[in-house]
Amino acid sequence: MAGSVKAVVTSGIGMTSDRTRARMVERLRAAGITDETVLSAMLAVPRHAFVDEAIASRAYDDSALPIGWGQTISAPYIVARMIALLRAGKKLGKVLEVGTGCGYQAAVLARVAREVYSVERIGQLLEKTRARLWPLKIRNLRLKHTDGSHGLPEAAPYDGIIVAAAATRVPEALLAQLAPGGRLVIPVGVDEQQLMVVEKREEGFVESVIEAVRFVPLLGDTA
């Protein structure tokens, strides 16, 4: 008896979140996200499963949410925007994410790239995220506890590097780990931050400033 009640409740939550997630994707479309590959990845990844149960009902709001250790999961719009900029309409091979956090963006990336490496400086946060990601069995995602401001040289070069925390300036080490034609998407600045894209072209690095953003700081060293 208890089992059947549980089953009903579980499927009820599932249906609600599917619909809520579909509405989130419609809002992203209305906000100007046109990359269908990104939109379908965000339709597929259960964002509510990446935050604590107490705030899961707010998982599909277009806002950043706390994930502990003073960190936040980025709002859906910014995740979509950054991954669309990283893709630039092309297929992604190997990608590095700096700042795994709760693992949501990493899970979305794993649906649009062949291979994803994601690094996080806070060890306990990463352990919690590992446990959360385990049942999802995402085979093309590797996590590592390390300071990502130096990138992850052992798996370089990358077709894309996406940084989920704001740097004071574009880290040289990250540029050095881009493959030819590769793109770095990174928030830069202290009080006023700008989302930037740096593309490695034959003639050199080409920078574009996209829009004002608000991120937690990219810190050196591990914790």
Among 28, 33, 99, 152, binds ligand SAH (CB under 6 A): 99
Is the Cβ–Cβ distance between 18 and 26 less than 8 Å?
no
Q: Please tell me whether residue 149 binds ligand SAH under the rule CB under 6 A.
A: yes
Q: Please tell me whether residue 119 binds ligand SAH under the rule CB under 6 A.
A: yes
Which candidate, 132, 163, 160, places its Cα nearest to that of 150? 163
Number of residues binding to ligand SAH, judged by CB under 6 A: 25
Q: Please tell me whether residue 116 binds ligand SAH under the rule CB under 6 A.
A: no
Residues classed as catalytic: 74
Q: Please tell me whether residue 102 binds ligand SAH under the rule CB under 6 A.
A: yes
Among 81, 121, 183, 200, binds ligand SAH (CB under 6 A): 121
Residues 31-70 that bind ligand SAH (CB under 6 A): 67
Q: By CB under 6 A, which span of 53-61, 102-110, 182-190, 205-213 interacts with ligand SAH?
A: 102-110
Q: By CB under 6 A, which span of 24-32, 115-123, 176-184, 198-206 interacts with ligand SAH?
A: 115-123
Q: Please tell me whether residue 122 binds ligand SAH under the rule CB under 6 A.
A: yes
Q: Please tell me whether residue 158 binds ligand SAH under the rule CB under 6 A.
A: no
Nearer to ligand SAH (CB atom), residue 14 or residue 220: 220
Q: Tell me the two tokens of residue 202.
A: 């034959």
Q: Please tell me whether residue 104 binds ligand SAH under the rule CB under 6 A.
A: yes
Among 84, 165, 195, 198, binds ligand SAH (CB under 6 A): 165
Three-state helix/strand/coil letters over the chain: CHHHHHHHHHHHHHHHHHHHHHHHHHHHHHCCCCCHHHHHHHHHCCHHHHCCHHHHHHCCCCCCEEEECCEEECCHHHHHHHHHHHHCCCCEEEEEEECCCCCHHHHHHHHHEEEEEEEECCHHHHHHHHHHHHHHCCCCEEEEECCHHHCCHHHCCEEEEEECCEECCCCHHHHHCEEEEEEEEEEECCCCEEEEEEEEECCEEEEEEEEEECCCECCCCCC
Q: Please tell me whether residue 120 binds ligand SAH under the rule CB under 6 A.
A: yes
Query: Which residues in this chain contact ligand SAH in the complex, by CB under 6 A?
Result: 67, 71-74, 98-99, 101-102, 104-105, 119-122, 125, 147-149, 164-165, 216, 218-220
